[in-house]
Structure 1
Amino acid sequence: MAKKKASHIKHVFTQLITDVFEKSGNKPLNYKQVAAKLNLKDAESRESILDVLKVETNKGLFQQVDAGKYQLKELKTFLTGRVAMTSDGSAFIIPDDEFENDIYVAPRKLRTALNGDKVKIYVFAKSKGKRKEGEVIEILERAKMEFTGIVKISERFAFFIPDDKKMLRDIFIPLDDLNGAQHGEKAIAKITDWPEDAKNPIGQITRVLGKQGENNTEMNAILAEYGFPLQFPDDVEEEANAIPEEISAEEISKRRDFREVLTFTIDPVDAKDFDDAISFKYLDNGNYEVGIHIADVSHYVKPDSALDKEAYARGTSVYLVDRVIPMLPERLSNGVCSLRPKEDKLCFAAVFELDNEANVVEQWFGKTIIHSDRRFSYEEAQEVIEGTSQEYYNEIHKLNALAYKLRDRKFKHGAISFESTEVKFKLDDAGKPIGVYVKERKDAHKLIEDFMLLANRKVAEFIAKKGKGKNKYTFVYRAHDAPNEQTLNSFALFAARFGYKINTKSDKEIARSLNHLMEDVEGKKEQNVLTQLAIRSMAKAIYTTKKSSHYGLAFDFYTHFTSPIRRYPDVMVHRLLELYLADGKSANEEHYEALSLYSSQMEKKAADAERASIKYKQAEFLEDNIGREYNGIISGVTEWGMYVEIIENKCEGMIRLKDISDDFYVLDEKNYCIIGQRKKKKYQLGDEVRILVKKVDLSKRQIDFTLVQNGTVKDEWDF
């Protein structure tokens, strides 16, 4: 411990001395001049300064330019930023200043910085023609201290091998800190110390997840890897359990009563958290009253309560292949808040009077009480639409007709329709995948979606137009920027290979041609590749308090109001809408912008966790098919290989360039292909190839393919 403390003091002292040279413009100074600038007058401090200057000169930090005079070998400047690790142990620092370029840091100059950490770095003076390089001098904030991985135990010590591909250091675990973990088990380890002179951090096992390869173990490992807790804290559960299900007469008296109006929910067959319901009524003037009733989560989850803090920390529910990890405890998500049939439920609603063309004649926002008459699955509602069931036939058919008109108007205004195929796994009782099927989106899905979009759009529009300029009201919007022109042009060139034309002259033309593409490509082999690439060419949607449009939906204003059981931004929207309906003052914008930024980050983590669970199930499914051949589509190209998606089951794996033996292949990034250097043979994104499943690594969620006959399947394409 004393050695570690001395090392830290020396490091800080070196920094102070370096700062002196930085601030003096790197003028040559002797140790006495440095001491004077640091206001150190005693002989011992002066001697220490001289020792540092001599030692660090030998290390290359300083150079002696005259008798007793030193200066920094290279003038440095300071920056702060986030670490983005590479596979070779080096990193790029992404500066907080968006106008600065990324700074390269060699492995030996990273100190103990890990991927995602916020750090302070020295930036060396740039040599002509070379990129900027730097050195980490301080870790300001750790991105994560806990990791999932495998425990390896020997007689005298144990190591923990993290799953995270960007965590390149194993964690040393003292035998006393194993906390019951056995050799080969999957667990969660927390870094507790990292001595400056140690190559590996020291940690302890905080939770044993179970036997490697078991479904429950692996799903929990994915959740932990992305920072989602595996259970609710006791105080959160206690707070949820204390909420009464009974609704008082006083509360009912404050609300608009829809219990006598036809109301129903339409959700997936296995859903338990019903957070939206639709009411429908014919009006005497020939119009229709359609209510979009949303679970009134904010009535039960109060700001700064234990429930609220936990919901904010999670940010969203997480949907893995075999389970849902709810944002709220089950007592609320599946019980008190869930709009279950034949029960009185509290809601926050957007109620519209629509004419026969689905124009909004009148609108009302406020608190309601409902009593759902029927819980439809999507399949049951689809049977009504297709005429094989007569239950609420007239009402559902009229809602479907109105939804069609809302949809057509949306596309005429420039919305983009991305209909990518959604793959689902058939799982046995142990969670092992035994089959794959493609989930279809039919009119019942789209009906619900169109009315949810209407509610979200109109709520956002209502607040956005309530005040302007300095009088604007702080609100949480769902924003989506126009695509980057260069990225879109690259996609247009690629789509042209398949005979699809993308007109990039204006936003409306882009949307129109993309929609034509989505229609034409539906059901074809290239659908997923082109759809995913088109989506990648778009900007990412985010939460923000800045008034901005939603490019993909072609809405001037948009928010998320309809899913507060599973999304925290919807809870914020409910609170703000309630405040402004009661003529409250505008909320603090800075506070809500910070909440919005965090919500966007948690949304991305949840999506990454979902993808990881899909990758695991794909690997598990193909583990029983090693050696089998399939036809696939090249879905991605990188400098180390090409990704191929199997047409039959949509599982994706990689063909490594080193495994293609007929030539030396390199990436041609501009043309989305890899090309042989001698024979000039190309493998391009979208090409169909015959592959063999070579290897599956479940722990890494990796699938390796090899090419069969090193050839592209050409006879099925018509260019």
Structure 2
Amino acid sequence: MSSLKTSVSKDMLRPTGRVVGIIKRNWRPYCGMLSKSQIKEARRHLFTPADRRIPRIRIETRQADTLEGQRIIVAIDGWPRNSRYPNGHFVKNLGSAGDKETETEVLLLEHDVPHQAFSQAVLSFLPKMPWSITEEDMKHREDLRHLTVCSVDPPGCTDIDDALHCREIGNGNLEVGVHIADVSHFIRPGNALDEESVKRGTTVYLCEKRIDMVPELLSSNLCSLRSNVDRLAFSCIWEMNHKAEILKTRFTKSIINSKASLTYAEAQMRIDSATMNDDITLSLRGLNKLAKILKKKRIENGALTLASPEVRFHMDSETHDPIDLQTKELKETNSMVEEFMLLANISVAQKIYDEFPEFALLRKHPAPPPSNYDILVKAAKSKNLEIKTDSAKALAESLDKAESPTFPYLNTLLRILTTRCMMQAVYFCSGMDNDFHHYGLASPIYTHFTSPIRRYADIIVHRLLAVAIGADSTYPELTDKHKLAEMCKNLNYRHKMAQYAQRASVAFHTQLFFKTKGVVNEDAYILFVRKNAIVVLIPKYGLEGTVFFEEKDKPTPKLEYNSEVPSLTVEDTIFHVFDKVKVNIMLDDSNIQHQKMRMVLVEPKVRPKIPRTILSFINVKNHHVVKWKFNPEEKT
């Protein structure tokens, strides 16, 4: 009796409450579709928002016939206490549902991505064309046009932020330079151009369009480090020995003239060529050699190498519809560029923190709480592998060892799963925090310096660095830690929303791709098991989806979920994490507003335990009588 009493009183101690008033409404304009009233010539209709968390909204309109099948924007006016739905009004018609332009507009609005054209006030602060470098621009700047600088980027890249050089110097050591577009030269604190850039926070890359953070004149022209033109840069230059140890570091505003704009493939071809020995190629070989040493050191230090199944769409040149999908292939040169960008970011972080310990803008990656790793540890254990998670180094080392000769893809799956255990990396102000560590990179300090064309955080870092080296003057907001902390909050939000918008764009293009494909049969691997489903990854398409075992209007199979192993038993078939299965992938467009990819298990076949003699039975569920008929000739 006493134990019962205890459990009751414990339950009663759970904090409970009720809403007594709403201080501030967090309403915004919502995208969605009209659910037209069935009553003839009715003026009151319901609007269904695209965001499933938002209730339907009652609106009045005479245009219901023309708005049917369209994506529209509705704003909420109020929510009467006695009403099931809020009241709102029609704002704007975005276009037909399913249309590519319309859906792109919807995903930008729903993820709060500022994407309107730049205003005249913003454009008025751009340099007048034709633009050239003046004597005034050369003040506090070093002329580095004689150096063999080149950039390495993805094909078709027009916003080139960074360029590199490497050469031997007299004492047998190497001089290595990372040259970053000097965007802060063109965007001055507090003007309309600066305010618009900080509001946008980041450039957003969708499948076939880019929402620039700064106007095109800067992003694709004056700040882009294109080849054979003079450009203003901010350079981080190291003297290194052949073991990639840094002997000296210096920072300087500069003027450079890039000798080549290469793609990753072109740079790789030069490095590998037996006949090419020109200055650009020699510089690339030197960089590549050092990058390999730097990467090895970083990994020995405990940095994580995590996998994500990224895909690229190949578009039809006329219709711009996706016609092919391929997983991104990473070359040695991708890694080469990445190593020097990381090194520059770390060097700059240390410099601005030494100068401004109270208001350096830094980036940290918190260590995940140990419970985050449960799923990873259990999944590895089910394959007789041990993953240690007490430190980033232990995790990195156990991931490296987690190989299976009979299942080469297992290591990639483990790394993908590890990514899901991670925390989000965030910007912060050094004077408002005391944990600076970047867990994923195993670095005690880190910031963003190398992409000022597409990230506003880097512009602030450039301004701090310029003040630190006496190349520019400070201004009040730059040394106000509260204002910087507020700005970091906005930047973190913008980065998160950009990420979500990018994912939504990939999801939409995936749907377009499968629209013309019909049903596709593919190999998949189980990433997670749930209580009534399995989550699978299809490597060929970098696509993830859920296979449900409980379906509407079908008899429910016997399900047993074991969270310890983890596994799910469906009838007599057991599913473990990382098992290989075959699925049919198809587009489910039954709900035009929420089209989704549907996955159905093909192999292994789940056989229901049903006596062959039973030809039919009646299932009473939710007060509906459903009649099932089984054919004894069928194998399933």
Q: CA distance change for structure 1 residues 328 and 202 in 2, over 3 Å: closer, same or farther?
A: farther
Q: Is contact 1:188-1:224 (8 Å) kept? A: no
Name the counterpart of 2:414.
Answer: 530
1:440 aligns with 2:325: no
Name the counterpart of 1:706.
Answer: 600
Q: Is contact 2:268-2:331 (8 Å) kept? A: yes
What CA distance in whole angstroms lies between the structure 2 residues aligned with 1:523 and 1:599? 41
Name the counterpart of 1:258.
Answer: 144
Q: CA distance change for structure 1 residues 371 and 522 in 2, over 3 Å: closer, same or farther?
A: farther
What CA distance in whole angstroms lies between the structure 2 residues aligned with 1:537 and 1:643? 16
Q: What secondary structure is seen at the aligned counterpart in 2 of 1:136? A: coil
Name the counterpart of 1:281.
Answer: 167
Question: What are the Cα deviations for residues 178-227 of structure 1, in whole angstroms up to 9, with x where unaligned?
Answer: 9x973211133332333333332333444432221122221221111100
Name the counterpart of 1:539.
Answer: 423
TM-score, normalized by length of structure 2? 0.84
For residues 39-438 of structure 1, the aligned pairs below 5 Å read 128-129=11-12, 131-153=14-36, 155=41, 156-167=43-54, 169-175=55-61, 182-239=67-124, 241-244=126-129, 245-387=131-273, 390=276, 392-428=280-316, 429-438=318-327
Name the counterpart of 1:85.
Answer: none
Q: Is contact 2:392-2:442 (8 Å) kept? A: no
Q: Is contact 1:327-1:566 (8 Å) kept? A: yes
Q: CA distance change for structure 1 residues 510 and 349 in 2, over 3 Å: closer, same or farther?
A: same
What is the CA-CA distance between 1:556 and the residue it aligns to?
1.2
For residues 543-558 of structure 1, the aligned pairs below 5 Å read 543-545=427-429, 546-547=433-434, 548-558=436-446
What is the CA-CA distance between 1:153 and the residue it aligns to?
4.7
What is the CA-CA distance between 1:160 and the residue it aligns to?
2.7
What CA distance in whole angstroms lies between the structure 2 residues aligned with 1:242 and 1:523? 57
Q: Is contact 2:197-2:456 (8 Å) kept? A: yes
What CA distance in whole angstroms lies between the structure 2 residues aligned with 1:388 and 1:143? 63
What CA distance in whole angstroms lies between the structure 2 residues aligned with 1:605 and 1:162? 19
Q: CA distance change for structure 1 residues 598 and 675 in 2, over 3 Å: closer, same or farther?
A: farther
Q: What secondary structure is seen at the aligned counterpart in 1 of 2:185? A: helix
Gaps in structure 2 of 5+ consecutive residues = 1-8, 608-636
Name the counterpart of 1:453.
Answer: 342
Q: Is contact 1:349-1:365 (8 Å) kept? A: yes
Name the counterpart of 2:538.
Answer: 646
Q: Is contact 1:157-1:174 (8 Å) kept? A: yes
1:608 aligns with 2:500: yes
Q: Is contact 1:186-1:211 (8 Å) kept? A: yes
Q: Which has the higher contact order (CA 8 A, sep 6+)?
A: 2
Name the counterpart of 1:634.
Answer: 526
Partner amino acid, structure 2, of 1:603:
H
Q: CA distance change for structure 1 residues 272 and 141 in 2, over 3 Å: closer, same or farther?
A: farther
What is the CA-CA distance between 1:422 and the residue it aligns to?
2.0
Question: What are the Cα deviations for residues 142-183 of structure 1, in whole angstroms up to 9, with x where unaligned?
Answer: 44412222234563234432111212x2223332799x9732
Partner amino acid, structure 1, of 2:593:
S
For residues 5-24 of structure 1, the aligned pairs below 5 Å read none
Q: Is contact 1:177-1:204 (8 Å) kept? A: no
Question: Would you say how many aligned residue pairs link Structure 1 and Structure 2?
Answer: 580
1:502 aligns with 2:502: no
What is the CA-CA distance between 1:690 and the residue it aligns to?
2.1
Q: CA distance change for structure 1 residues 670 and 260 in 2, over 3 Å: closer, same or farther?
A: same
Q: Is contact 1:342-1:372 (8 Å) kept? A: yes
What CA distance in whole angstroms lies between the structure 2 residues aligned with 1:521 and 1:306? 59
Question: What are the Cα deviations for residues 13-66 of structure 1, in whole angstroms up to 9, with x where unaligned?
Answer: xxxxxxxxxxxxxxxxxxxxxxxxxxxxxxxxxxxxxxxxxxxxxxxxxxxxxx
Question: What are the Cα deviations for residues 94-145 of structure 1, in whole angstroms up to 9, with x where unaligned?
Answer: xxxxxxxxxxxxxxxxxxxxxxxxxxxxxxxx98357433322333344441
Partner amino acid, structure 2, of 1:140:
I
Q: Is contact 1:259-1:369 (8 Å) kept? A: yes
What CA distance in whole angstroms lies between the structure 2 residues aligned with 1:174 and 1:389? 74
What is the CA-CA distance between 1:515 and the residue it aligns to?
3.6
What is the CA-CA distance between 1:243 and the residue it aligns to?
4.8
What CA distance in whole angstroms lies between the structure 2 residues aligned with 1:389 and 1:543? 46
- Which one of 447, 456, 464 corresponds to residue 576 of structure 1? 464
Name the counterpart of 2:631.
Answer: none
Q: Calculate the aligned-residue CA RMSD, in Å.
A: 2.9
Name the counterpart of 1:597.
Answer: 489
What is the CA-CA distance between 1:712 and the residue it aligns to?
7.8
Partner amino acid, structure 2, of 1:530:
L
Partner amino acid, structure 2, of 1:309:
E
Q: CA distance change for structure 1 residues 277 and 142 in 2, over 3 Å: closer, same or farther?
A: farther
Q: Is contact 2:514-2:586 (8 Å) kept? A: no
Q: What secondary structure is seen at the aligned counterpart in 2 of 1:455? A: helix
What CA distance in whole angstroms lies between the structure 2 residues aligned with 1:141 and 1:638? 37
Partner amino acid, structure 2, of 1:164:
D
Question: What are the Cα deviations for residues 69-94 of structure 1, in whole angstroms up to 9, with x where unaligned?
Answer: xxxxxxxxxxxxxxxxxxxxxxxxxx
Using the TM superposition, name which of 681-690 and 345-354 deviates more: 681-690
Q: What secondary structure is seen at the aligned counterpart in 2 of 1:140? A: coil
What CA distance in whole angstroms lies between the structure 2 residues aligned with 1:181 and 1:282? 70
- Which one of 673, 681, 684 corresponds to residue 576 of structure 2? 684
What CA distance in whole angstroms lies between the structure 2 residues aligned with 1:242 and 1:461? 33
What CA distance in whole angstroms lies between the structure 2 residues aligned with 1:435 and 1:213? 20
What is the CA-CA distance between 1:640 and the residue it aligns to?
5.2
Name the counterpart of 1:674.
Answer: 568
What CA distance in whole angstroms lies between the structure 1 residues aligned with 2:535 and 2:568? 11
Q: Is contact 1:687-1:712 (8 Å) kept? A: no
What is the CA-CA distance between 1:318 and the residue it aligns to?
1.1
For residues 22-41 of structure 1, the aligned pairs below 5 Å read none
What CA distance in whole angstroms lies between the structure 1 residues aligned with 2:175 and 2:407? 37
What CA distance in whole angstroms lies between the structure 2 residues aligned with 1:445 and 1:338? 19
Question: What are the Cα deviations for residues 463-516 of structure 1, in whole angstroms up to 9, with x where unaligned?
Answer: 33346xxxx331111111223222224412211323432233544322222244
